[in-house]
Amino acid sequence: MPEEEVVRVMGYAATRGTRTFVFLGPDSAYGRQVEAAARAEAARNGWRMAASSFYSPNESASAEARHIASVIRAESSAGSGRIGVLMPERGVKLLAVAPLLVVNGVDLGRIRLLGTSIWDDPSIWREPALEGALFAATDPDNASAFRDTYRRIYGRAPSDLAAVAYDAASLAINLSADGRVMHSEVTDPNGFMGVNGLFRFRLDGTAERGLAIKEIRASGASVVEKGITQFPPG
């Protein structure tokens, strides 16, 4: 769920001193979902959500980036510390939007670009504006054996969907081994360890995952904080 990715990446940034955040993203269902999650998480923890700006997915984000850049400069002048800029965009569009902050006078050393799992894409990692950016994603170490086996059998790398399908099938087989599937088994608070790491189901049917934090460098994106291997009680 985008919400838990937002919670994870904002929480990690907060442990590194970032308590003020802004949002720059597409005016889409996904963008609105991520912004709402960020605003809720900031309110829950007493952090500041200084501004949000939505741009049309099919048009330039220049005006919106200019607005966010002015907010960042004002917050920096007011001593807000390093500001988290949540930017849930992908691919070519992200490569066009991210540099706009620099064009509008933002010192990258004063901000921390934050993203979701859609940043787990090697094609964007060489963009200089994304150097040091953080995003939440499944821990790649958990899937290494699965990827190797899949590649050996099918001659190509698995998609993210293949890993999710494998976990779903594996869980269904294990839970139905005795001929029935109990609600209490599916909602086991201890969760399950799968190809994509630790996960469990909430009572509302959504999934909770032990996500990792990855940092973008010119050489690639590396894990800076691994996903949890055990859920806290409650």
- Summarised one tens digit per residue, pLDDT across range 78-108 is 888 899 999 999 999 999 999 999 999 999 9
pLDDT at 234 over 70: no
Residue at 37: amino acid letter: A
Q: Angle, nearest 10°, between helix axes 160-175 and 144-154?
A: 100
- Summarised one tens digit per residue, pLDDT across range 124-169 is 999 999 999 999 998 887 778 888 999 999 999 888 788 889 999 9
CA gyration radius for the chain?
A: 19
According to DSSP, residue 230 is labeled S
Q: How many CA atoms lie within 13 A of 206 on its CB side?
A: 7
According to DSSP, residue 226 is labeled P
Residue at 209: amino acid letter: R
